[in-house]
A and B are shown apart, each in its own frame.
Chain A
């Protein structure tokens, strides 16, 4: 069965520090998709990134970067020079190509301290 594990329940860092959020997934499928979503204190869910299993290129978007490694079944998310506005719960999610249901991890609550 497919599974997404975010082992870090809660992380606190001081502003301007870099922080990495871990995501490990389990699947026997070769075609799948991985996602990261952000849930700020206001509660809405904001899509951040989507990756398919055939594209292992790392991606950078401003202060955000993602490291996808199939060899370790990981899709980690790094925030560089963190800011207080980055404080949120971050969810990693997984979708099999042959399925209609996205599976979410339990989320990592990130506190950026001023």
Chain B
């Protein structure tokens, strides 16, 4: 079982560049999430999706875009990278809302630096 797979694991971008962080899960989970974790801080929700074709903003969506064309994939797009987006990005999935039945499963993270 691969679980939640994120690529790449590390990336350095120049200011103004764009890139897509990939996230895929093989557990047939409906719910998927993108978080960022700044140094010494907790997780902040960027975007989430409750199913294919549906996405919603989280706490810190500015500067990011997402799409959910399939159940498996939930890519996160940075259009104009800014130094404030330097962070570790985590993708997560859960069968439902990650409540009593199923917790959220997290990927290993993508460490992104914007220089």
Contacts and interface: CB of A to CB of B under 8 A. Distances in A.
Asked if A and B bind, the verdict is yes
A44 B97 CA distance: 20
A100 B103 contact: no
A102 B98 contact: yes
Given A50-B99, A97-B99, A102-B98, A45 B42 contact: no
Given A44-B108, A52-B99, A105 B45 contact: no
Nearest to B111: A43
A101 interface: yes
Interface residues of A, number: 23
Contacts of A35: 103
Contacts of A101: 45, 48, 58-59
B108 A106 contact: no
Interface string B39-66: 0111111001010000010110000000
A90 to B, nearest CB: 11
Given A43-B109, A104-B43, A107-B42, A33 B100 contact: yes
A95 B98 contact: yes
B64 to A, nearest CB: 15
Q: Which of A33, A46, A52, A102 has the most CB of B within 10 A?
A: A102
Return the 8 tightest CB-CB contacts between A and B, nearest first: A45-B106, A106-B42, A47-B103, A104-B43, A104-B42, A44-B108, A33-B99, A107-B42
B77 interface: no
Interface string A17-36: 00000000000000001010
A60 B105 CA distance: 22
Interface in A75-92: 91
A100 B50 contact: yes
Interface string A33-58: 10101000001111100101000000
Contacts of B97: 95, 99-100
A37 B40 CA distance: 15
Contacts of B103: 35, 47, 50
